[in-house]
Structure 1
Amino acid sequence: MDFSQLPPPRDPIGQMGAPYNSLQIGTFVSFVVTYFMATFFLACRYFQALKLIKNIEIDLIILTVCYGLALAYFITMVGLMDYGWARHMPEIIASNYLNLLEFNNKLLPNTLIYLITPAVTKMAMLTVLFRINPSVRYRICVGVVGGCIFAYTFVLTFLTGGPCTPLKGDETIKCLMNVAVAQSVLNIASDIAVILLPIPTIINLQLSFKQKLSVGAILGLGSAVVICSIARLPYSISLQTSQDLSWEEGILGIWSIVEINIGIVCGCAMRLKKLIVAYLPKMGWNSSHKKSTPYGSHSWGGTTAAGSKGGNKTFDEANGTKGDYQLHSVQKGSVEAGGSTDKILD
């Protein structure tokens, strides 16, 4: 590596911890801002679960795990800063503080946490999507997407902890970079798959275009994080040819922090309709709901299954499930028989 081509250090040369440079400070700011957002939305989800729904659902439990992993990821990143993370290579070399063994020891848990967390977040979103349509075909598709996410995450995690482990030193650097690129590409593909899953259900809704748009916006929130995944990809690719690896890793780390925390925000936001309806009625959800249901008798708290015997049973009664955020029926027809899934996310 030719360090003569790199910019000279701007900060005092010494131990690699504080004082932090601009990129490291940017890492702190990115985490504080996005983690505050994640905290706020997660708190809203818990308020809704305890106050309105009276039930802690599986997706909320999974998102809580992601919330803890996001904090652990940032803590490991701060530890890496003590060994040159997000600093220029000339500065690290000149400081005589280059300790690759300690750096790699801290890099391994940092990498493993990042590999796992986005996948866990998407699993939370899939648990929500799984319940919006009782069609066997639809639920098989949700299961296939979830299985693929689990499979590639398991393989990449195994490679990082085994054959490509940073504990082996320089001999595994290229392998780790390939893992980073592969994960970035697969994250984008899985994000897009999660976006596409509910589209057929939305298209078949017997609603106005405005109502379909609002339903699509709620479901689409679950994968808005794909923007972060796409923005992160070029930096993952550039690592393979970078002459200033530690600095490039710092930039990549910021995008990783944003991706993880925004994923938590999106996972929470796609399930906050009850809270919005209860406390922000001026947003117009109530009027939209009344237009979309032909019965006009059930409340927001219940969900009806069209075509069920004995009148307007709730969706839960008809399908033998618990919970109250399935889609409201607006047209008679059997989903299992190929009828339209004409429902609105509650």
Structure 2
Amino acid sequence: MAGVQPESTLVCAGVFTGLAIIFSTLRLYSRIFIVRAVRVDDILLGVAVMCSMALTVLIIFQAYNGLGVHQDTLSNDEVFNFLKGLYGGSIVYSIGMLFTQTTFLFQYRNFFIGKWLRRSTDAMIVIVTLEGIATTLAVAFQCLPVGTQSIWNPYAPPAKCINYVAFWFFSALFNVFSSLIIWALPLPLIKSLQLPKRQKRWLLLVFALGFFTCLASGLRIRGLYISVQHAENDTSFYYTAAATWSSLEINVGIICSCLPTIKPIVDRVFPELLREPTRPVPPLGGVDHSVRRNGAGVLLANNCVPLTDKSLGTSAESSSVPTPKRQIEDV
């Protein structure tokens, strides 16, 4: 995937960032106007969306300054600007991944109940937060003295910098494993949930898409490996794959975190989509368990006889308890 065209990178970044904005807007609408409860994970997601938008802007800036073009054909100003965009994009990516993963984890704390899952989720929140802060600071201050131009200017005086090859691979591997753990945490609980079939399929679809986030993290490592091999002489040409998968990783994570929360909107717009179809229950023992309305519009079971109020000399229909019905099976 070394030869990914910059146009493909821009299309992927633009389309998936747009989808992330749409789904996050639907989520916010659902939480504010339907559920009427905005939680911590909604705020975290808002920061993740802003990071996604910033990353897309920086990818466009890189494309304008030589992304996907051989570095020896670029002017010095284009090389400097491209590397500045790469530097800024790396910082934004680190922050975006931190808030995307913590969105999932805080969402688990709201959706699922269980001592084991709660403790595991809390532990992952601490681990992901500490790693995200450490990664962001390491990227921002990767060279000393702080603010040195050697990060984006190959001709600047040499500075003392971290081993960015080892650092990037460690960070990328951490994202892969943390994404896998976050994806797998609630699976045992979901498997045991007694949910209607359609709702269970909805959750399984969400987690199937969530696995794509893990896949994007893995493919991003391959893109980084190709980019690092040519870091000294042709980063601009070989960074397209890493830029593409970085954008996909964050945006797909944002979209997946929104899917469970937009169910109230789906229920309103498509009321039959997630509702289990039911079939009529046949009478038991020859007794008709269907219902009818009386003159006042009150539902009565057909097998219920109106009670006679002798003290008033009138016949009054009251609520009778019909014979228990058998449980309706899921279709």
TM-score past 0.5 threshold: yes
Could you tell me whether the CA contact under 8 Å between 1:177 and 1:239 is conserved in 2? no
Matched, 1:271 2:261: yes
Equivalent residue letter for 1:246: S
Structure with larger Rg: 2
Aligned residue number for residue 244 of structure 2: 254
**1:194 aligned residue (182, 185, 196):** 182
C-alpha displacement of 1:193: 0.6
C-alpha displacement of 1:82: 4.6
Helix, strand or coil: the match of 1:271? helix
Aligned residues: CA RMSD: 2.9
Could you tell me whether the CA contact under 8 Å between 2:96 and 2:250 is conserved in 1? yes
**1:40 aligned residue (9, 16, 22):** 22
C-alpha displacement of 1:213: 4.3
Could you tell me whether the CA contact under 8 Å between 2:206 and 2:256 is conserved in 1? no
C-alpha displacement of 1:99: 4.8
Equivalent residue letter for 1:241: Q
How many residue pairs get matched? 265
Distance 1:184 1:43, change over 3 A: same
User: Residues 95-110 of structure 1: matches in 2 within 5 Å?
Assistant: 95=75, 97=77, 99-100=79-80, 102-110=81-89
Could you tell me whether the CA contact under 8 Å between 1:121 and 1:263 is conserved in 2? yes
Could you tell me whether the CA contact under 8 Å between 1:105 and 1:167 is conserved in 2? no
User: Residues 41-120 of structure 1: matches in 2 within 5 Å?
Assistant: 41-92=23-74, 95=75, 97=77, 99-100=79-80, 102-120=81-99
Could you tell me whether the CA contact under 8 Å between 1:125 and 1:222 is conserved in 2? no
Helix, strand or coil: the match of 1:119? helix
CA distance in 2, matches of 1:82, 1:180: 25
**1:130 aligned residue (109, 127, 139):** 109
Aligned residue number for residue 284 of structure 1: 274
TM-score relative to the length of structure 2: 0.70
For residues 1-48 of structure 1, what are the alpha-carbon distances to aligned partners after superposition, in whole Å with 9 as ceiling and x for unaligned? Answer: xxxxxx9xxxxxxxxxxxxxx833323222221122112212211221
Q: Which runs of 5+ in 1 are unaligned?
A: 1-6, 8-21, 289-346
Could you tell me whether the CA contact under 8 Å between 1:30 and 1:254 is conserved in 2? yes
For residues 58-105 of structure 1, what are the alpha-carbon distances to aligned partners after superposition, in whole Å with 9 as ceiling and x for unaligned? Answer: 22222122111111112223333454333112322xx454554x5544
User: Residues 282-321 of structure 1: matches in 2 within 5 Å?
Assistant: 282-287=272-277
CA distance in 2, matches of 1:148, 1:96: 41
Aligned residue number for residue 240 of structure 1: 228
For residues 301-343 of structure 1, what are the alpha-carbon distances to aligned partners after superposition, in whole Å with 9 as ceiling and x for unaligned? Answer: xxxxxxxxxxxxxxxxxxxxxxxxxxxxxxxxxxxxxxxxxxx
Q: Percent identity?
A: 20
Equivalent residue letter for 1:199: L
Helix, strand or coil: the match of 1:281? coil
CA distance in 1, matches of 2:60, 2:213: 23
Deviates more, 1:206-215 or 1:243-252: 206-215
Distance 1:77 1:194, change over 3 A: same
Matched, 1:26 2:5: no
Distance 1:178 1:254, change over 3 A: same
C-alpha displacement of 1:124: 0.9
Distance 1:223 1:130, change over 3 A: farther
User: Residues 176-195 of structure 1: matches in 2 within 5 Å?
Assistant: 176-195=164-183
CA distance in 2, matches of 1:122, 1:134: 19
Could you tell me whether the CA contact under 8 Å between 2:12 and 2:244 is conserved in 1? yes
Distance 1:263 1:215, change over 3 A: closer
C-alpha displacement of 1:173: 7.8
For residues 82-137 of structure 1, what are the alpha-carbon distances to aligned partners after superposition, in whole Å with 9 as ceiling and x for unaligned? Answer: 54333112322xx454554x554443322110111012111111111112333232
Equivalent residue letter for 2:258: C
TM-score relative to the length of structure 1: 0.67
Could you tell me whether the CA contact under 8 Å between 1:38 and 1:264 is conserved in 2? yes
Equivalent residue letter for 1:68: M
Helix, strand or coil: the match of 2:229? coil
For residues 207-236 of structure 1, what are the alpha-carbon distances to aligned partners after superposition, in whole Å with 9 as ceiling and x for unaligned? Answer: 577764443334554554222212212111
